[in-house]
């Protein structure tokens, strides 16, 4: 008996299972909405976290809520796990398929149902692209505020699953602050509406739990988003600093002065030098760090805020300050920041993007720690980040073809996240946990806290079929990972000694 | 055998039970922390909803987290229901005792643990008064934004339980927008920390579920609140309108102009005439409605916003406009609004304060409906409300000594709430459901939605001992109330036909 035999047996089992489940799904969906051949399912084998791939058993593309209810019923009856998928741009592997599971894509629910300028809201289906909402709202002078870098491609359903942010979330908030209502289907097939148009609602705030739940609680079928007025104008300051830590202090000084910039981003020299040849954004590549600080609002508000920010930045020791004079120049300043990830791909065969968030006052300490890790792991790291909300995006540059570099990059990333938790931060700011950061969740949370998450997960999905093994690690997994939180540990969370 | 016998038997049972539970509690608490005599427990028989009273079996006053854990263990082992209580200022009966239950007061956990001006946050115990946080933060130029009318007395633990608001919540948000982290004890005795200092956190957003959960999920032991800089200045406009509906349109016009006032309150003539003799706020008592619109920020910001608001209000047909010229005048303008409830108590033997929230565009329609109900029920209603966020506080004036008036007031209130739901709003904006609005929850939510609430409740409290029979009605209760939501009904919520 050789090792090929069990493999063949497993493959035969999967083929039989695929035939059974596909047949059941074709009873409730049109033929073209069920993909079961590998050549058709191949495009779904990964999301934006392309390092992790898995061919799904089946992909379904329903185009109505009734079809989604029917798909869930089939999966429930046949005990098939379901991986919900938006546009597949997620960066943490939340939509990575399961070998014996169904990928449920909401791409075909792509209709803008209603646009209400008076109440400043839009009702959209989950497959509508983020930017398409703002494009449709533009005729009313409105837009949808959260703007992830992938906003051309990513869909609102995926934004809800991951609680996506963007460069303007310091002032305008994350997805959870910009969604009024979600209509969703539970695994049991119940259609439930969470939230509403009022500022507060009675009952438990299940809308907030649902947003960012990474497909574990239900399938989104409709989203009511808040729209905000397009500011009359916006200008951005580019400030240079001779030392990274001075830039970090400037961020703290701006916030301490009571200013909430529309955007407050920082890039270190590695990043600006990586980006500048690629996009000619006009960055000061001699500076140790540059800060981009945006003001938006009425012309008077922007004038005043630019003046106040300039004064604070000068006091904080900026070595040079440039203010965008035209809309074209403003967009040029932003283009470098927004193209940091593609630029990393241009200068390095591979890169690994982290997403830790820390208290702002710890920025200097954590950047210092990352600099030491660059030496320890022998890898370069470019730091671009949402400085205003303490959300770091270290880009670890490596070459997967060099033996050991992928492993070193992974270890480097895990150590960055552990440092983020150690200083009172978290392992993800806006990209979600998915499969990528699931082990780091064992570092972040105590067993009692993970159990609280699971108890809510079970409340919505007792069978555990919705995106299993993502986002929340089991206690067994944490034990295997060797990072079970213990009582009296150094981390700023607590639980009772009985664990 | 007469009817007195079973009553005596019940009383004897309760006395025996009280002795048993009190003895067990005295094993884990100091003597003075366990109140079991009616003369000691009497002050706890109601909260701010004084129309509903019930003497509790026992009151406990723990002064540490460890004592709370111990109390919960005793109650769990002896199967005793627990009613958590903050300062007892709640308006919906959330802290009303249960005859065979324990009231757990957090009043003795009243320490400000840490004040961090740099990260703009404070760590406080649940019994700390709302206003005491701002008083302690004042030395750093900071304050805690949510300001319920009861802020002198109410505690942050109660604010968390009810997700309290205030007159500034349009701009600064409710409790949920101003709390970073909650430390709490589950019924099982686990200490869990929810939330964190970062803008987003991985895992499910249990912090948002916990805030506003009315004591059903756990006992708060520590709260980390966000502090915001005290604005340099603030001014308020008082605008008069000849018709209520014109005032409502002005509210919509302000929001549509992209202005987010620091406060945006409306009072009808019944209210201003009720208040004026009492506080001499300088109100225009000839106007059908007055609007109070506050701007805060830097002097330049406030100047500009006052000018923009004045222009919008004039265009919207204001018949008179006054702007506060001094801080004393600003406080005078607000004093009338803040004293509306006591003023109602001055002109009417009893009043019933509602708390419905509606989409802003429906303000005119709902006020018209309330005017018709005044005729139908033969009772006066004074309307004061947070116009900016559509949160109505109709004060129904009645005299409980006149046969039938209490019942008419209750029916009047229920009809107002049903109208709020009908136009797409909710039955409570900031006062919570408690016991007062529990039947109206059957109007607001479909069975699948109530079941979703219960499933989360059970996830935290499988035994159902934490504040049972509050906030979420059972399906049986809704059936008895005769308001079970049915498929195809007129209400803007949905569920599957299987219910």
**How many CB pairs (< 8 A) connect A and B?**
235
Q: Which of residues 43-72 of A touch B (CB under 8 A)?
A: 69
Interface test with A, best of B198, B260, B361 (most A CBs within 10 A): B198
Which pLDDT score is estimated for A3?
A: 45
Domain A4-105 classified CATH 3.30.43.10? yes
Identity of the residue in A169, A441, A459 whose CB atom sits nearest the CB atom of B456: A459
Best of B178, B202, B303 to mutate (most A CBs within 10 Å, chain A): B202
Using CB atoms, pick whichever of B190, B208, B359 lies closest to residue A197: B359
Q: Quote the pLDDT of residue B312.
A: 96
- Domain residue limits, chain B: 4-103, 112-229, 233-342, 349-481
B8 phi, psi to nearest 5 deg: -60, -40
Q: In angstroms, what separates the C-alpha of A498 from chain B's closest C-alpha?
A: 9
Q: What pLDDT is recorded for position B276?
A: 93
Q: What is the mean predicted confidence (pLDDT) over A192-209?
A: 83
Chain B CB contacts of A189 under 8 Å are 496
Q: Over its length of 499 residues, how does chain B's per-residue pLDDT go in tens digits?
A: 444 455 677 777 888 999 999 999 999 999 999 999 999 999 999 998 877 889 999 999 999 999 999 999 999 999 999 999 999 999 889 999 999 999 999 999 999 999 988 788 999 999 999 999 999 999 999 999 999 888 889 999 999 999 998 888 888 889 999 999 999 999 999 999 998 876 667 788 999 999 999 999 999 999 999 999 889 899 999 999 999 989 999 998 898 787 889 999 999 999 999 999 988 999 999 999 999 999 998 888 899 899 999 999 999 999 999 999 999 999 999 989 888 888 888 888 888 888 888 888 888 899 999 999 999 999 999 998 888 888 889 999 999 889 899 899 989 999 999 999 999 888 887 788 898 888 888 888 888 888 889 999 999 999 999 999 898 888 888 877 754 433 222 222 222 222 2
Residue B2 Cα, gap to closest chain A Cα (Å)? 44
Selected residue of B180, B446, B452, B455 to mutate for chain A interface (largest A Cβ count, 10 A): B452
Which residue of A lies nearest to B259 if distances are taken between CA atoms?
A: A229
- Does the beta-carbon distance from B359 to A198 stay under 8 Å? yes
Residue B192, chain A, CB below 8 Å: the answer is yes
* pLDDT recorded at residue B488: 26
Chain B residues close to A448, C-beta within 8 Å: 186, 190-192
Which pLDDT band, with edges at 50, 70 and 90, does A494 fall under? very low
Q: Using a CB–CB cutoff of 8 Å, tell me whether B441 touches chain A.
A: yes
The distance of A208 to chain B (nearest Cα, Å) reads 6
Fold of the CATH domain B4-103: 3.30.43
Tell me yes or no: is domain A232-347 CATH 1.20.990.10: no
Chain A residue numbers with beta carbons less than 8 Å from the beta carbon of B304 are 298, 300-301
Task: Tell me which of B117, B168, B199, B485 to substitute to probe the interface with A (most A C-beta atoms closer than 10 Å).
Answer: B199
Contact across the interface for A359 and B119, Cβ inside 8 Å: yes
Q: Between chains, do A456 and B176 touch, taking CB under 8 Å as contact? A: no
Query: Which chain A residue's Cα is nearest to B299?
Result: A304
Identify the CATH class of A112-229: alpha beta
* Contacts with B, A 287-326, CB within 8 Å: 298, 300-301, 304
Q: What is the least distance, in Å, from the CA of A198 to any CA of chain B?
A: 6
- What are B63's two structure tokens? 């002064």
Given an 8 Å threshold on Cβ–Cβ distance, is A208 in contact with B203? no
CATH architecture of B349-481: 2-Layer Sandwich (3.30)
Query: Which candidate from B201, B255, B444 shows the least CB-CB separation from A426?
Result: B201
Flag if B198 and A165 touch (Cβ within 8 Å).
no
A196 touches chain B (CB under 8 A): yes
Please tell me the predicted confidence (pLDDT) of residue A216: 95
Q: According to the model, what pLDDT value does residue A482 have?
A: 59
Please answer yes or no on whether B202 and A390 come within 8 Å at the CB atom: no
**pLDDT given for residue B385 in this prediction:** 86
Q: What is the mean pLDDT of residues A482-489?
A: 38
- Cβ atoms of residues A140 and A224 within 8 Å: no
Q: Is B349-481 in the same CATH topology as B233-342?
A: yes
Query: Of 3.40.50.300, 3.30.1220.10, 3.30.70.3450, 3.50.50.60, which CATH number belongs to B233-342?
Result: 3.30.70.3450
The answer on pLDDT for A415 being more than 90 is yes
């Amino acid at each position: 008996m050789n090792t090929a035999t069990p493999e063949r047996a497993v493959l035969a089992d999967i083929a039989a299972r695929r035939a059974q489940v596909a047949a059941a799904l074709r009873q409730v969906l049109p033929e073209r909405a069920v993909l079961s051949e590998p050549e058709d399912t191949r495009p779904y084998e990964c999301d934006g976290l392309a390092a992790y791939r898995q061919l799904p058993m089946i992909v379904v593309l329903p185009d109505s809520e009734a079809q989604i209810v029917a798909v869930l019923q089939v999966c429930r009856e046949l005990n098939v796990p379901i991986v919900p998928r938006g546009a597949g741009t997620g960066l943490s592997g939340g939509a990575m398929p399961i070998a014996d599971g169904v990928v449920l894509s909401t791409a075909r629910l792509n209709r803008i149902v209603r646009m209400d300028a008076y109440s400043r809201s839009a009702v959209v289906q989950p497959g509508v692209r983020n930017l398409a909402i703002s494009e449709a709202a533009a005729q009313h002078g409105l837009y949808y505020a959260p703007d992830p870098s992938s906003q051309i491609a990513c869909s609102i359903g995926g934004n809800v699953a991951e609680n996506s942010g963007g460069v303007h979330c310091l002032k305008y908030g994350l997805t959870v602050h910009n969604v009024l209502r979600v209509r969703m289907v539970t695994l049991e097939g119940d259609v439930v509406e969470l939230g509403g148009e009022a500022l507060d609602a009675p009952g438990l705030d299940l809308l907030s739990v649902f947003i960012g739940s990474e497909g574990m609680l239900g399938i989104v079928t409709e989203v009511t988003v808040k729209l905000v007025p397009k500011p009359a104008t916006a200008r951005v300051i580019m400030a240079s600093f001779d030392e990274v830590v001075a830039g970090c202090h400037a961020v703290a000084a701006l916030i301490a002065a009571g200013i909430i910039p529309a955007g407050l981003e920082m890039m270190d020299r590695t990043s600006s030098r990586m980006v500048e040849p690629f996009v000619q954004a006009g960055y000061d590549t001699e500076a140790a760090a540059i800060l981009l600080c945006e003001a938006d609002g009425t012309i008077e508000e922007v004038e005043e805020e630019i003046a106040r920010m300039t004064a604070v930045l000068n006091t904080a020791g900026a070595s040079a300050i440039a203010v965008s004079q035209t809309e074209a120049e403003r967009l040029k300043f932003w283009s470098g920041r927004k193209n940091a990830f593609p630029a990393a791909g241009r200068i390095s065969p591979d890169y690994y993007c982290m997403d830790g968030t820390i208290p702002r006052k710890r920025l200097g300490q954590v950047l210092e720690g990352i600099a030491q890790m660059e030496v320890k792991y022998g890898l370069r790291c470019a730091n671009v980040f949402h400085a205003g909300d303490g959300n770091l995006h270290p880009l670890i540059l490596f070459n997967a073809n060099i033996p050991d570099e992928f492993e070193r990059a992974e270890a480097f990333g895990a150590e960055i996240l552990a440092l983020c938790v150690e200083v009172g931060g978290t392992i993800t700011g806006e990209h979600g946990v998915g499969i990528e950061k699931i082990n780091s969740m064992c570092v972040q949370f105590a067993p009692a806290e993970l159990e609280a998450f699971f108890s809510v997960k079970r409340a919505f999905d007792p069978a555990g079929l919705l995106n299993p093994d993502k986002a929340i690690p089991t206690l067994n997994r944490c034990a295997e990972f060797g990072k079970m939180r213990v009582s009296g540990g150094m981390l700023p969370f607590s639980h009772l000694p009985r664990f």
